[in-house]
Amino acid sequence: MGEWAFGGCYNLESVTIAAGVTAIGNNAFESCSYLTSVTIASGVKTIGHEAFLICIGLNSITIPASVTAIGNYAFDGCASLTSVTFEGTITGSSFGNNAFGYGDLSAKHSSGGPGTYTRTSGSGTSNDPYVWTKQ
């Protein structure tokens, strides 16, 4: 899926990324404010930089085990995002800077592995980073 494929489609509410798609491009869904549901099929390997930046309606996401890299700021600005499920493990530099906003999700996932992580506090800024807990 190319860069900016649906970026700025404010009224987009639901997306299913079909089998056969191997990458979600940079800024593919940036600023899709009403996007509340995203289903990512197994087979997607990379989620690009800022792919879902400022998708403020998104409240949960499942990252399939096939995903091996998430770009910088991929889900930053997703103010309603409070639950992230990793079906596999993303390691080291393959987990982009502030991929889920300012916070400790990268570190928690690196030590905790696959599972569901819930945001428990913070506003996602450098002064008040998100705090995530594995369920």
List pLDDT tens digits, range 62-113: 999 999 999 999 999 999 999 999 999 998 889 999 999 999 999 999 999 9
Q: Please provide the DSSP assignment of the chain as one string.
A: --TTSSTT-TT--EEEE-TT--EE-TTTTTT-TT--EEEE-BTB-EE-TTTTTT-TT--EEEE-TT--EE-TTTTTT-TT--EEEESS---GGGB-TTBTBSBSHHHHHHHH-SEEEEEEE--SSSSS-BEEEE-
This prediction has a pTM of 0.95
Residue 21 has pLDDT above 90, yes or no: yes
Strands 60-63 and 46-47: unpaired
Query: What is the CATH number assigned to the segment(s) 14-134?
Result: 3.80.10.10
Residue 10, pLDDT score: 92
